[in-house]
Amino acid sequence: MKQFSFLLFAVLFSVTLFAQSSLKGKVVDVISGKPLAGASVSFVGAVVTADKDGRFQVNCSKTSRITISFVGYESFHQLIKNCDAELVVELKPAGIALQEVEISAASGNKSILYQPASIAKLTAVELKRGTGLFLDDAIQTNVPGVTMNRRTVGGGQQLNIRGYGNGSRGTRGISSNFDGQGYKVYLNGIPVTDAEGITTFDDIDFGSVGNVEIVKGSAGSLYGLAIAGAVNLRTTKAEKNKTSLSQEVMIGNYGLQRYTTQLQVGKEKTSLLVNYGKQKSDGFSIHNKSKKDFANVIGDFQLNEKQSLSTYVGYSNSYDERLGELTLTQWQNNDYSGNPEYIKRNAHSNVVTFRSGVAHTYNFNSNISNSTAVFGTGFSSNVSSAGGWTDKNTINYGLRSVFDTRFPLANGVALNGVTGVELQRQDGQTVGYNMKADPNDPNPGTWTYGVSRYWVVNANTSNAFVMSKTGSLFTQWTFVLPKDFSVTAGIGVSDMKIRLDDRFNPALATRPARYEKAYTGMASPQVSINKVFNKELSVYATYSKAYKAPVSSYFYITTPAVTTPATPATGRVNETLKPEIGSQYEVGSKGQTLHGRLVYELALFYATFANKMTAVAVQSPANANTTLYSYMVNGGKQLHKGLEALVKYTVVQSNTGFFNIVRPFANLAYSDFTYAKGFTIQKSVTQTEDYSGKAVGGVAKITANIGVDVQMKYGLYANVTYNYKDKMPITSLNDYYAPAYNLLNGKIGVRQNLGNHFEVEAYAGATNLTNTKYYLMVFVNQLPDAYIPAPKTTNFFGGINLKYNF
C-alpha cells in the first residue's frame, strides 16, 4: 500500500511538472523599441530580471497576474490567459522622455526631438498632478507661453497662446477675452471649434482626457484658420489585452464631488472604453454652483492588416452659475458678493452637446496610407447674464481626410509628407431676449439675494440664423537628409463663407434681411529646418503664417433709424473688413541628455498680428456727443517677442532604494508683447485711445513654475508645484494692472495591487496652500468690472479609485 501511494504521488508530481509551462517575453521601450535590460518581472510570487536583450522567462500558470516595472517607466499589469503566447511588453516613459507627438506631428519620425516647432505634450503625469478635472492648472504649470482661464467653477474656459487674446468685443477694445477665438481645438479628431471659429469648452470632460498636445503659434499649414495655434485633446483609451472595471470617487471642500465609472475592454485587435462622469460643486461664493454629466464611448477596431476603424460618441450636460465680474473696488475690499445685475438674472451657462465621429485608416502599402474622419456635433445652450438671455442651437458637421506618404530614397534620404482636406459647416440659430422682474415677485422693486425671485425672460430682442462653412486644403513635406538633418515646407489654403439671415428685423429697402460674405485664398505657408545631434538634442528654425476670419457678429453693419435729420435704418456687408494675419519666426532647441536624465526645451520667437480687428464709434447726427452705433474695422499691429524654456532632471532613479524616482522640473516664459506704433482706436465719438508701444492687455510679462515628482516604494507618490504669475495689464492703455501672485500646491497618494485582480489608488491634495488671493480670470478692457476671483482659502480634495481586472 505504501509503495502504491508513493508511486501515485510520483506520477501526479511528474504530471504537475510536465503541465507547468514557461512564459517567455520581452520588455522594450514603446517609443524607441530598444530592450529594457534589468526590468523587474513579478509573476506568481517570483521575481526575475530581464536580460541584456530585454528577454525573460518565468514558470507559468494560467489566470495569474504579471507585473513588469522599470525605473522611469509606467508599470505594466496583465492577467495571463495563454502561457504559450510570447509576451511583448512596451513600457511607456513616465513623463520624462521627449515623447512622441501622437496627433499633431507631420509625417515621419514623431518624436518631439524631430518636430521643428513648439509642441507641448501633457500626459497623465502632468494632467493628474492636481484634481485632473479642469485642465487650466495643468496648462498653467506645465506649458510656458500658454494660459487658460475659466469664468466659473467649470465653464467659460479660454486659452491665450503666446499673447493672442481671442477676439474683439464691440467697443471693449482689441484684446477682449470675452470668447474663444484664434485657435483650433480638436477632441479625438472632432473639432470643438465651430465652423465660425469660436471655441466653447464648457462641455468637455477634462477628467477623461489622457493626452493633450498644443501647437504654439500660427498653425495654418495643417489646421486652417489657426492664427494662435492648435490644441489636440485625446481621451483615455482602453489598454491592449486588458479588461477592467473601475470606480473613482473624489470629494473636496466647496462641495466638490466627482464620480467616474469606467469600463475598459482591450483585445488584440479591438478595444472599447465606456466612461461616465458626474461632477458637481457648490462653488466658493454665492451663485457659483456647477453641475455636469458626461458620457463617452471610444472604440478602436483593427479590421485587417490594412484597415482600422476608430469611433467616438460623447454626450455632455453642463450647467454653471455665473457670479459675475467683481469691480476693482470689490476686489480691493475682498468683497466676493459678485455682480448683482448678473445674479438677479440668474446668470448661468447651460451647454448640452452630442458629438460623434468615425475615422477609417487604410494602409495601401508601406509608403502610402489614408485616414478619413467624418464627424458631427449637436450643440444647444441657454445663457443669461447682465445683458439678457440668449438661446443658441447649432449643428456642426464635416470631414478631415489626410494622406500620409513616406518615400525612402537612396543613402538615408527620404521624402515624407501629409496632404489633406478639412471641411466643416455649421447651421445655427441664436435668439436673444431681455429680462424683467418676475411678475409673481411680491416686492419687485427691491431685489434681495435669497429672498427675491430671479428675473425671467421678457421680450425678444434678436433672432439670427447663421450658416458658416470653412474649407482647408493642406500639404506639408519633410525632406530627410543624412546625419539627421531635415527640411520641412508646407502650405494650407483656407476659405470661409458666412451667411446671416435676420429673422427679427423685417427687410426694408435700405436694410436687407440677409447678409453674405466669403473670405477666400487665405494661404498659410510654413518653412522649417531641423538638425538632430547624436539622437540626443536638436536645433531648429521655422517660419509660419495663419489667418483669423471675422465671425458672424463682425462682418455686417446695421444703423438705426434717426429722426433728426430723418434717416432710415440701413444695413450692409462690411466689405472693408479683412481677416487678421499672424506671422511667426521661431528658433529653438530640444534635448534629452545625460543618459536620459536631463530633458530640456528652449524657444525664442517673434510674432506679428496684423489687421487686428477693433470697433470704431460713429457719431449720431442728432447729437455730436452721442454714439449712434459702432462697427468693426482693421486696426493696427501687435508685436510679440518671447522666450520659453522648460527643463526636467531625474535626480534619483533606483529600483532598490526607498525613493524610486525624484524628478524636479521648471519652466519659464518671458513675454514682451506690445502694440505697434500708430495703433489707435475710436473708443467713442469723444474719446480716442492710442496704444502705441504699450504692453498687450491680458498677458503677464513673466510666468514661472517649479515642481518635483516623487515615486517611492510601496506604491507611494507625491508632487509639489509652485506657480508665479507677474502683474498683468488689464487695459490696453496699461492704466490698471492685475497684481502678481504665487501659488503652492501639493498631492500625495498610493497605488497598490490587491491580489491578482484588484488595483486601488488613494490620494489627497490641495491647491493654494498659502491662502493667496488670486483670480481665475480677468476680463480685459471691461472696467470697472474685471475679476473672476478664485477661492479665498486652500482648496482640499481627496479620492479613491478601485479597479477590477478580469
The closest of 488, 384, 362 to 431, measured between CA atoms, is 384
Same domain, 586 and 629: yes
pLDDT at residue number 108? 67
Cell 520659453 found at: 644
The Cα–Cα gap between 320 and 154 comes to 7
Same domain, 87 and 116: no
Same domain, 158 and 228: yes
User: What's the distance, CA 609 to chain centroid?
Assistant: 23
pLDDT at residue number 109? 74
C-alpha cell at 69: 516595472
User: What's the distance, CA 326 to chain centroid?
Assistant: 27
Same domain, 374 and 498: yes
> 562: which DSSP letter?
B
Range of 593-597, 620-624, 725-729 with top mean pLDDT: 725-729
Task: Assign residue 353 the CATH number of its domain.
Answer: 2.40.170.20
> 33 — alpha (psi -120 to 50), left (phi > 0) or beta?
left
C-alpha cell at 507: 427687410
Same domain, 238 and 187: yes
Burial zone of 287 (CB within 10 Å; 0-12 exposed, 13-18 middle, 19+ buried):
buried
The closest of 311, 337, 307, 313 to 325, measured between CA atoms, is 337
The Cα–Cα gap between 144 and 165 comes to 16
Same domain, 86 and 118: no
Across 306-316, average pLDDT: 96
> 118: which DSSP letter?
-
| pLDDT > 70? residue 122 | yes
Single pTM value for the model: 0.89
pLDDT at residue number 781? 87
Overall size of the chain counted in residues: 806
Cell 455649421 found at: 426
> 304: which DSSP letter?
S
The Cα–Cα gap between 535 and 541 comes to 18
Task: Assign residue 53 the CATH number of its domain.
Answer: 2.60.40.1120
In a domain, 49, yes or no: yes
To which H or E segment does residue 81 belong? none
Q: What secondary structure does DSSP assign to 215-255, as a single string?
A: EES--HHHHSS-SSEEEEEEE--PPTT-EEEEEEEEEETTT
Q: What percent of the chain shows pLDDT beyond 70?
A: 93
In a domain, 354, yes or no: yes
pLDDT per position as a tens digit, 389-411? 999 999 999 999 999 999 999 88
pLDDT at residue number 15? 40
Same domain, 72 and 174: no
Across 690-718, average pLDDT: 95
Q: Which residues of 219-253 are buried (b: 16+ CB within 10 A; e: fewer)?
A: bbbbbbbbbbbbbbbbbbbbbeebbbebebebebe
To which H or E segment does residue 131 belong? none
C-alpha cell at 136: 487650466
Same domain, 133 and 44: no
| pLDDT > 70? residue 11 | no
Across 276-297, average pLDDT: 96
pLDDT at residue number 4? 47
CB–CB of 729/163 below 8 Å? no
Which residues lie below 8 Å from residue 41, measured CB to CB, with a gap of 6+? 25, 27, 47, 48, 49, 50, 56, 58, 66, 67, 68
To which H or E segment does residue 655 belong? none
| pLDDT > 90? residue 579 | yes
Mean residue pLDDT of the chain comes to: 90
The Cα–Cα gap between 254 and 92 comes to 36
The lowest-confidence range among 174-178, 246-250, 396-400, 496-500 is 174-178
Report the amino acid identity of residue 308.
S
In a domain, 259, yes or no: yes
- The residue segments making up the domain with residue 641 are 112-416+483-805
Same domain, 602 and 732: yes
3-state SS of 440-467? CCCCCCCCCCCCCCCCEEEEEEEEEEEE
The Cα–Cα gap between 520 and 517 comes to 10
List phi, psi (to 5°) of 3: -65, -40
Relative to beta strand 368-385, strand 613-620 is unpaired
C-alpha cell at 112: 518631439
Same domain, 221 and 86: no
Identify the band that residue 426 occupies on the pLDDT scale cut at 50, 70 and 90. very high
Same domain, 86 and 127: no
Burial zone of 700 (CB within 10 Å; 0-12 exposed, 13-18 middle, 19+ buried):
buried
Same domain, 503 and 566: yes
CB–CB of 386/178 below 8 Å? no
CB–CB of 137/767 below 8 Å? yes
pLDDT per position as a tens digit, 470-482? 999 999 999 999 9
Identify the band that residue 92 occupies on the pLDDT scale cut at 50, 70 and 90. confident
- Count the domains in the chain: 2
The Cα–Cα gap between 682 and 155 comes to 33
List phi, psi (to 5°) of 208: -100, 0
